[in-house]
A and B are shown apart, each in its own frame.
Chain A
Amino acid sequence: MVVAIDEAALERYGQWPWPRTRVAELIGRIGAARPAAIGVDLLFPEPDRFSPSAVAEEVQGLSADVARRLRALPSNDAALAAAIRGQPVVLGVAGLEARDPRFSRQPAAPPLLLRRAQDLRLRHFPGHLQSLPQIDQAAAGRGLLSVDPESSVIRRALAVAQLGDVVLPALSLEMLRVAIGAPLSISGRGSDAIEVGIGDVAIPAHADGRFWIRYGPHDPARFVSAAQVLSGGVPAAQFEQKLVLVGVTGLGLLDYQTTALGDRVPGVEIHAQILEQIFEGEFLRRPAGLRTLELALLATATLMLAFTVPTLGVGASLGLYALAMALLAGLGLEGFLAEGLLIDVAWPAIGATMVFGVVLAGALSEADAQRRALREQAARVAGELESARRIQMGLLPSPRALFAGEPRFGIDALLEPARTVGGDFYDCFMVGPDRLFFVVADVSGKGLPASLFMALSKTLLKSAARRVDDIGALMARANAEVSSENPESLFITAFAGLLDVRTGKLQFCNAGHEPPFARAPEGALERLVHEGGPPLCVLEGFEYPLAEHTLAPGEWVCVVTDGVTEAMNAAGELYGAGRLQAVLRSLPAEVEPNAMLAAVRADVARFVGEAEPSDDLTLLCLRWRGAASER
């Protein structure tokens, strides 16, 4: 129970400090209810200036008689001492860092039992402040008022402290001791812990006498106003056999402290809460092993994060971190609620957070560096592919430029690689003055391997064409030569032709290639089909047969690769030979090769639409204009 000298009391009985007679009256009222102990959270270090003799000195113009009579009256301090005497009153003592000359004598200390002789390392105050000896001597006990705050927030209080040479318990503990009538005992509990005992009550504390306060919220029900007590409005049962604290709560008196819960509570309530805690036996403890446990937690959490975060993605890492934090918080809370253990999970949490941050930053920057390296590599490869494409396209002749002004025939060709560089190729050149060699070929596969093999094949075909008259023999020779330099087992479909530009006689050979189309000015669209053979590099030693077809004057031939017939649209449909035939049929009889090329290319592009080209696309168109005599 706390008897509060609150705003209501100050309003009714005047400003603080009250005359000690009023305090005496208050204590008398409480004492009449026979409480177990009365703790007075007040100090009376100087004589009361409201004492009659002091008033006699203060007030001018009193008659000598009045002054004399006033001086003869007992002092207010004597009145208070009288009120205290015989009551279980515990007065406050404050520890000071310097000696106060007024209180050179050591305060009277309660009987102290030291269960185990050891050097006490209690908080030591060289000086102290206490009530006037006259009042002090009347008290049943003296308790320490000082909480000796370590910061602005009071988390721990002194259970016992050393004042000069004597050991004094806290006000609350001394109240308990006075109530029980037992001596105070202090025994060692390991290297940095002690146990403060009063009768059956044991309070675990640090070697310096501090112990943790387990705060509850500020509870107005603990308080009763001094005004009510003075007016007799509080039934005796409220105080009977209770521990009653008397203190000031009036806001103007400024004895307010911040607790660990963040409440601003009157200083006297801290004493009350300490007493409640002692009765409930719920002490907050920090056994010696706890530091080891915290270090182990710190090590576990940091090591776990240090080793797992680099192997996880950002999301998983954050999840793990959150889990670790939740576990630490849960452990701290569980320890506090279930065991009253004060496990400091803040340091493991802070350590883990720092390690997490560093490791995650490291992992991210490493990932970033890798990404950058990959980007650079991709750019380099793209650049190399781009230059490979230029080289590949440079290998292909430009028929229109090559045969510009050629009166006997017209020829044009087009190649669009699907993956920057491709495996299609075409070639055309004169073999001797009157014979035009041309070839369209497709290496199986795409990309760099196909394009490299294409370059090799094109060269070998060209050299074979210059040495062999018979186009079938040319194919057989190319087959042998390309096969011998084919570690990747690629193959090549090819259509090769040798046109006698004087007569229109066309010798051709098809090695597994899409048969070309041909059309004479007056004729229907036809395909140049013959027995042919498999693609180059498929069957070793195959003897390719040749076929002949005599072109009519103005007749054209169009050779394509499967990039045309198997061009695919977004729906997965193939362009097909049918569409190719349709567009070729629609062309006028006198169409020139470049116009033909453009028409087919446009039709395929229309069909494919936005779809990614699936294969290289090659077209070669040739038109024989007829013998010199016929032109």
Chain B
Amino acid sequence: MPLAHRLYDSALVLAPSGRLDHDNCEAFREELAPFLERSAKERLAIVLDLAGLEYVSSAGLRCFMLAAKQAKAQNSRIVIAAMQPVVSEIFQIARFNLVFDAFPKVRDALAALSPAAAAAFDRG
């Protein structure tokens, strides 16, 4: 799974895409790992932009949970944004809204994290 990333001030926006299931969740975890390390080192928040994510299985949810646990352990923030309806419903059923703060749009997430990040986003 390709993991596009962009930095807005102190916020790292990561955009997984496609389907996240049993077959590729380990690869996704490996892709995610360096960004989590970087977020701890550079005091960056992470926004998972899920606009390109079409489906997530329970194994995929586990990846999100592990990321959340690591973020919590290293005292950094990780939020999600721009979920498609299918993914949103899966998150809703699994009550992962209790695990992640979720925002309708990436900009909303950035605004909630830091005004500087939102400003950087607005500048493009």
Interface residues, chain A, with chain B CB atoms under 8 Å away: 442, 444-446, 489-491, 493, 510-515, 532-535, 538-539, 542, 562, 566, 615
Contact of B58 among A444, A510, A534, A539 (CB under 8 A): A444
Please, which residues of chain A bring their CB within 8 A of the CB of B43?
Answer: none
Cβ proximity bits B29-67 to A, threshold 8 Å, 1 near / 0 not: 000000000000000000000000000011101100110
Main SS at interface, chain B: helix
Contact of A535 among B57, B59, B94 (CB under 8 A): B94
A511 to B94, CA, bound (A): 7
Please, which residues of chain B bring their CB within 8 A of the CB of A535?
Answer: 61, 94-95
With A445-B22, A446-B22: A490-B62 Cβ-Cβ less than 8 Å: yes
A533 to B93, CA, bound (A): 9
**Min C-beta distance of B22 to chain A, whole Å:** 6
With A539-B99, A542-B98, A566-B57: A491-B62 Cβ-Cβ less than 8 Å: yes
The answer to whether B58 touches A445, judged by C-beta atoms less than 8 angstroms apart, is yes
Cβ proximity bits B59-99 to A, threshold 8 Å, 1 near / 0 not: 10110011001000000000000000000000001111011
The residue of chain B having its C-beta at the shortest distance from the C-beta of A542 within the complex is: B98
Contact of A445 among B62, B96, B99 (CB under 8 A): B62
**Min C-beta distance of A475 to chain B, whole Å:** 12
Please, which residues of chain A bring their CB within 8 A of the CB of B69?
Answer: 489
| Pairs A–B under 8 Å by Cβ, sample size 25 | A444-B59, A444-B61, A445-B22, A445-B62, A446-B22, A446-B59, A489-B66, A489-B69, A491-B58, A491-B61, A512-B94, A512-B95, A512-B96, A513-B93, A513-B94, A514-B93, A533-B98, A534-B94, A534-B98, A535-B95, A539-B98, A562-B57, A562-B58, A615-B57, A615-B58
The answer to whether A493 touches B99, judged by C-beta atoms less than 8 angstroms apart, is no
A361 to B95, CA, bound (A): 61
Please, which residues of chain B bring their CB within 8 A of the CB of A491?
Answer: 58, 61-62, 65
Please, which residues of chain A bring their CB within 8 A of the CB of B94?
Answer: 493, 512-513, 534-535
A534 to B58, CA, bound (A): 12
A147 to B95, CA, bound (A): 103
The answer to whether A532 touches B95, judged by C-beta atoms less than 8 angstroms apart, is yes
A467 to B44, CA, bound (A): 45
The answer to whether A534 touches B62, judged by C-beta atoms less than 8 angstroms apart, is no
Contact of A538 among B22, B59, B65 (CB under 8 A): B65
A489 to B57, CA, bound (A): 16
The answer to whether A512 touches B93, judged by C-beta atoms less than 8 angstroms apart, is yes
Main SS at interface, chain A: loop
A532 to B65, CA, bound (A): 17
Interface residues, chain B, with chain A CB atoms under 8 Å away: 22, 57-59, 61-62, 65-66, 69, 93-96, 98-99
- Those 5 A-B pairs whose CB atoms lie nearest each other, nearest first: A512-B94, A444-B58, A534-B95, A444-B62, A534-B98
Contact of B93 among A445, A515, A539 (CB under 8 A): A515
20 further A-B pairs in the complex, CB-CB below 8 A; given A513-B93, A538-B96, A615-B57: A444-B61, A444-B62, A445-B59, A446-B59, A489-B62, A489-B66, A489-B69, A490-B62, A491-B58, A491-B61, A491-B65, A512-B94, A532-B95, A534-B99, A535-B61, A535-B95, A538-B65, A539-B98, A562-B57, A562-B58
The residue of chain B having its C-beta at the shortest distance from the C-beta of A531 within the complex is: B95
**Min C-beta distance of B34 to chain A, whole Å:** 19
The residue of chain B having its C-beta at the shortest distance from the C-beta of A488 within the complex is: B62
Please, which residues of chain B bring their CB within 8 A of the CB of A445?
Answer: 22, 58-59, 62
**Min C-beta distance of B124 to chain A, whole Å:** 36
The answer to whether B93 touches A538, judged by C-beta atoms less than 8 angstroms apart, is no
Please report the number of residue pairs spanning A and B whose Cβ atoms sit closer than 8 angstroms. Answer: 55
Please, which residues of chain B bring their CB within 8 A of the CB of A533?
Answer: 95, 98
Q: Which of B61, B65, B95, B96 has the most CB of A within 10 A?
A: B95
A622 to B94, CA, bound (A): 23
Contact of A442 among B58, B95, B98 (CB under 8 A): B58
**Min C-beta distance of A196 to chain B, whole Å:** 79
**Min C-beta distance of B89 to chain A, whole Å:** 9
A538 to B62, CA, bound (A): 9
Please, which residues of chain A bring their CB within 8 A of the CB of B96?
Answer: 512, 534, 538
Q: Which of A510, A538, A542 has the most CB of B within 10 A?
A: A538
The residue of chain A having its C-beta at the shortest distance from the C-beta of B97 within the complex is: A534
A532 to B96, CA, bound (A): 11
Q: Which of A445, A511, A512, A562 has the most CB of B within 10 A?
A: A512
Please, which residues of chain B bring their CB within 8 A of the CB of A515?
Answer: 93
Please, which residues of chain A bring their CB within 8 A of the CB of B22?
Answer: 445-446
**Min C-beta distance of B56 to chain A, whole Å:** 11
Contact of B99 among A444, A490, A538 (CB under 8 A): A538
Please, which residues of chain A bring their CB within 8 A of the CB of B99?
Answer: 534, 538-539
The residue of chain A having its C-beta at the shortest distance from the C-beta of B58 within the complex is: A444
Please, which residues of chain B bring their CB within 8 A of the CB of A615?
Answer: 57-58
A534 to B94, CA, bound (A): 6
A445 to B58, CA, bound (A): 7
The residue of chain B having its C-beta at the shortest distance from the C-beta of A419 within the complex is: B22
**Min C-beta distance of A501 to chain B, whole Å:** 28
**Min C-beta distance of A20 to chain B, whole Å:** 102
**Min C-beta distance of B85 to chain A, whole Å:** 12
A538 to B94, CA, bound (A): 10
**Min C-beta distance of A561 to chain B, whole Å:** 9
**Min C-beta distance of A425 to chain B, whole Å:** 14
**Min C-beta distance of B71 to chain A, whole Å:** 13
Please, which residues of chain B bring their CB within 8 A of the CB of A510?
Answer: 95
The residue of chain B having its C-beta at the shortest distance from the C-beta of A566 within the complex is: B57
Please, which residues of chain B bring their CB within 8 A of the CB of A513?
Answer: 93-94
Please, which residues of chain B bring their CB within 8 A of the CB of A562?
Answer: 57-58
Please, which residues of chain B bring their CB within 8 A of the CB of A444?
Answer: 58-59, 61-62
A160 to B11, CA, bound (A): 98
The residue of chain A having its C-beta at the shortest distance from the C-beta of B69 within the complex is: A489
A489 to B94, CA, bound (A): 16
**Min C-beta distance of A457 to chain B, whole Å:** 14
**Min C-beta distance of B14 to chain A, whole Å:** 20
Please, which residues of chain B bring their CB within 8 A of the CB of A566?
Answer: 57
Q: Which of A514, A539, A542, A562 has the most CB of B within 10 A?
A: A539
Please, which residues of chain A bring their CB within 8 A of the CB of B66?
Answer: 489
Q: Which of B57, B58, B59, B96 has the most CB of A within 10 A?
A: B58
A134 to B22, CA, bound (A): 109
Please, which residues of chain B bring their CB within 8 A of the CB of A539?
Answer: 98-99
A512 to B98, CA, bound (A): 10
A511 to B99, CA, bound (A): 13
The residue of chain A having its C-beta at the shortest distance from the C-beta of B19 within the complex is: A572
A446 to B96, CA, bound (A): 20
**Min C-beta distance of B80 to chain A, whole Å:** 14
A515 to B95, CA, bound (A): 11
**Min C-beta distance of B93 to chain A, whole Å:** 6
